[in-house]
Structure 1
Amino acid sequence: MGHHRRILVLLFLCVSLASPMPSTAEPLADCAAPVSLDDGWQVADAAGAGFDPARLCAALRAFRTSPRNLHAVVVERGGRVVAETYRAGLDVPWLLVAPRRVTFGPGTLHDMRSISKSVVGLLWGIAQADVGLPPVQTPVLDLFPHLADLRTGGRERITLEDLLSMRSGLAWDEMGRYGGLGNDENGLAWRGDIPRYVFDRPLATGPGRHFNYDGGHTAVLAELIQQRTGSTLQEYVRRKLFEPLGITHWEWGTDLRGRARAYAGLRLRPRDLARLGRLVLAGGTWQGREVVPAAWLQASFAPRVPYGEPGMGSDSNYGYQWWLGTVRAGGRSFAFRAAVGNGGQRLFIVPDLDLVVVLTAGEYNDPGVAPELRRVLDLIVESAAAGSAATP
C-alpha cells in the first residue's frame, strides 16, 4: 500500500471512531412501547399513556438523528415508562483523558455530573427529618469551629440557605470554565479541608444577593450530612434513598482522597434517574412510604434566585439545589423542575402533565448542547399536552 493511501485509510479510521453519530444505515427507533424489563417499571404505549403518538415519535426521531453526541432518552408518565431510546456514542468519565465509545442501553450506568447536587439536596431533606440538621438560617461557619479565623469580612453571615440556593457571595469561578485549570471546582478533588477551601476566599457580593454556581456549596452540605449522620455519603444515599426506590446498580465516584464527589460523582442508569423524578411527583413517597419529606420538596422548589441557565428558559430560577423553568405547548405554559449535569445530563419533571423526561449525553464542557436538549423536551411536552387535550 502506498504512503499516501495508508494516510488516507488512517484518517478514515480516526474519523469513524471519533464520530458520535449513528451510522446512516442504522435504522431509526420504531417508536414502539418500551420493552418490559425486570426492574420494577411498568410500560405503556404512547396513546394509552395520554400522548399524541405521532408527536412523541417525532421527538424520539429528533433525538436519534441529532448531530450531537446524545446517549439516552427516557419518558415516564403516571408510573410507567412510555418511551425510551439509546444511542452509541463517545463518553469521557471523570479523570479519563481519551474518549471511549459506548453502546448505551437500559442497563448502562451514565455519569450524572451535577445532577449529583440535586440528589444531595434530597439527602439534606431526608437527614433533616432523620437526625435533625440545623435550620437553614444557621450561619455555616457556626458549624465548623475550626474555621473561626474565617469569621470575618461578611463570611460569618453566610447561611445554610445561601449554600442550598447558590448565593453565598463567595468569589468562586466555575461556570463556563469546565475542563480548564482555573476552575475552582478542581480544588475540591484534592484539598484536605474542603470547608476551609470553600470559605477561605473573599466575598464578591453580599451573602444572599446573587446567584453564582458553586460546587463547593454542595461539598460543604455533604460534609455536614456525613458529620451529623455518622455515615459516608454513599452509605447514606444507599440506605435512605436508593434502596427504598429499588435502585441497586449505581456508583458514586470518589475524589483523589477517596471521598465521595458530592457535587458531580454520581452514576446511574437513565431508568433509575426517572425513579427520582417519579418520587418528586409523588410528593416524596414511594409505594406508600415517605422517603423525602413533602415539606422539604416544597421548600426546594420555591424560587430563591433568578438565573437564566441555557435550556431552562429566560424566566428560570434556582431553588435548593434544583433548577426551575417553564416550557410552552399548545398555548399553555408548564412549570418544570430540573436537575442538570455537565455534558447534557437532564432530569425534567413537569407536574401539570405528570411527566418525567430523562436525557443523557456526552457533550462535556460544551454548553452549546443545551438548545438541542431543550428541543427534544419541547417536542415531548407538546406530545403530552396534545394527547391530554384530546383525552375526554
Structure 2
Amino acid sequence: MKLFSVKSRISRIVLAFLLGLFLTQILFEIMPVPPAEAICTQPKNIGDGWNVSTPELSGFDAPALCQILTKAGSGRANIHSVIVERHGRLVAEFYRQGKDRSINILFGLWRPFSTRTQFSPTTLHDMRSISKSIVGLLVGIAQQKGRIGSLSTPILQFYPENSDLRSPEKDAVTLEHLLTMSSGLQWNEGALPNDETRLFWEATPSRYLFNHSVIAKPSQVFNYNSGGTMVLSDILTRTSGKSLKELVKAELFNPLEIADWEWVSNLHGRELAFTGLRMRPRDLVKIGRMMLDRGRWRDRQVVPEAWVAASLSPQISTGFKSPPTASDDLKYSYQWWGGNVNWHGKSLRWSAGFGNGGQRLFIVPDLDLAIATTAGDYESREIVHIVNVLFEDIVSSVSLLD
C-alpha cells in the first residue's frame, strides 16, 4: 500500500507539472505581442552595405507611411519585421518580438511549446519558399558561365542513371518547365502529408520527382512543385561540382556583401533548395535592389541582365488571384511571382519571392521600390492577406508628386 501511495503521489506531481506547462503555453499564446519599437525612426547604419534615408527624401507621404507601419507593428498578426527600400537606400524598418518555428529546428514542424524571439536587424529569419527565387537566380548565373545550356534541355539528360524512368512524355520536361512550375508532372502540395513532405528525407530528388506521372502537357498548366526546385539545385551541383551553399556564397552572396546566412539541409545533408534559406531581412532586400538594378549591385553585374528581365516577366498564368476578387491571375516566371498593384489609379507590375508564413520580397520597378516582410504564421491564409494588404498600403504611400 505504501508503494502504491508513493506512485500515486508521483503521478499527481507529474500530472500537475504537465498541466502547469499546458496552462503556461495557453497564456503564452493569448498574451498580446509587444508592439515594435522605434517604428517611424530612420533606419540605422550598421555597416552592412546599406545607405539610409528618410521617407520624405525618398518620395513618401511620411505620416501615411508611419501610420501604416505603426498599425502593422502593433497589431495581433505575427509580423516580425518590415523593411522599405527605395532608390538604393533603406527608408523604414521595424522589428518586433514574435513566435516562430524555424526550419532549422525539426524542419519547422509544429511543436507543442513554442517560444518568442526578439527579432532585430542582425537576426536570421526563415525565408521559406523565397529560397526558390534564389535558386532561380543561380540557374541564370550557371547558364551565363556555360555550365548549363539551353533552357529547352530535357531534365533527364542530366540523369543517365534514371534511364528506366524515361518516356516520350517525361523526356519533354525541360529546365524551363521546372523553372516555371509547368512540368506537367503530378504533384500535390496541399494538406499534409503531401508530395513536398518526402523531400525532407529524400536522397535522390530527381528519381522521386520523375516517379510521378505526367498528367498535362509541359508548359500548359501551372502546378506548384517544390520537387522541381530540388532537382534544379541538384543540376546546379552536378554541373559545378560544388554544393548549393558553396555556389550561393561565391556567386551571389559574396558579391552582395551578405555574410551572415545559413541553408538548412535534409536528413541526407542535401540543402533544402525549396525552403531552407535563412538570412537577415536587410540582406533579403539587397536581392530586391539588385533585381531593380537589372542584376547589378554597386558596380558589379551579379546576375545576367537578360535573366533578370526574364525572371520579372510573366511566363505563365497561375490560376490564382490575390486578392480573390482581382481581375487578373497571378503570374509566375523563373521561380518568381508577379502581379499588379494600384498606385493612385495606375496599375503597376510587381514581382516577388513568396515564402510560407508571411515571408515576402516585393519589388515595383516603376517606383524603384523594394519591400520585405518576415512573419511566423506558417500555414496561415490570414497572414497572406495581411502582408499583401500591407504591401499595397505601403505602395499607396509613395507620393504621386515624386
TM-score normalised by structure 2 residue count: 0.89
Distance 1:124 1:242, change over 3 A: same
Q: Tell me the equivalent position of 1:151.
A: 166
- Return the offset for 1:152: 1.6
- Return the offset for 1:309: 4.0
- Return the offset for 1:29: 3.9
Matched residue type, 1:304: Q
Q: Tell me the equivalent position of 1:361.
A: 375
How large is the RMSD of aligned CA atoms in angstroms?
A: 2.1
DSSP 3-state at the match of 1:296: helix
Q: 1:379 and 1:57 mapped to 2: Cα distance?
A: 11
DSSP 3-state at the match of 1:105: coil
Is residue 2:246 matched to residue 1:231? no
1:122-161 aligned within 5 A? 122-152=137-167, 154-161=169-176
Q: Tell me the equivalent position of 2:8.
A: none
Q: Tell me the equivalent position of 1:67.
A: 76
Q: Is the 8 A contact 2:314 2:333 kept in 1?
A: yes
Q: 1:380 and 1:20 mapped to 2: Cα distance?
A: 28
DSSP 3-state at the match of 1:166: coil
Q: Tell me the equivalent position of 1:162.
A: 177
Is residue 2:94 matched to residue 1:85? yes
1:348 to 362, 366, 372: 362
Identify unmatched segments of 5+ residues in structure 2. Answer: 1-16
Is residue 2:282 matched to residue 1:271? yes
DSSP 3-state at the match of 2:237: helix
Q: 2:68 and 2:150 mapped to 1: Cα distance?
A: 43
Q: Tell me the equivalent position of 1:113.
A: 128
Q: Is the 8 A contact 2:321 2:330 kept in 1?
A: no
Q: Tell me the equivalent position of 1:210.
A: 221
Is residue 2:383 matched to residue 1:372? no
TM-score normalised by structure 1 residue count: 0.92
Q: How many residues are treated as equivalent by the alignment? A: 379
Q: 1:59 and 1:123 mapped to 2: Cα distance?
A: 35
Q: 2:331 and 2:365 mapped to 1: Cα distance?
A: 16
Distance 1:382 1:142, change over 3 A: same
- Return the offset for 1:116: 0.3
Is residue 2:47 matched to residue 1:38? yes
Q: 2:155 and 2:364 mapped to 1: Cα distance?
A: 33
Percent of pairs with identical residues: 42
Matched residue type, 2:45: S
2:349 to 308, 330, 335: 335
Asked which structure has the greater CA Rg, the reply is 2
- Return the offset for 1:324: 0.6
Distance 1:294 1:306, change over 3 A: same
DSSP 3-state at the match of 2:348: strand
DSSP 3-state at the match of 1:126: helix
Matched residue type, 1:356: A
1:101 to 112, 116, 133: 116
Q: Is the 8 A contact 1:163 1:221 kept in 2?
A: yes
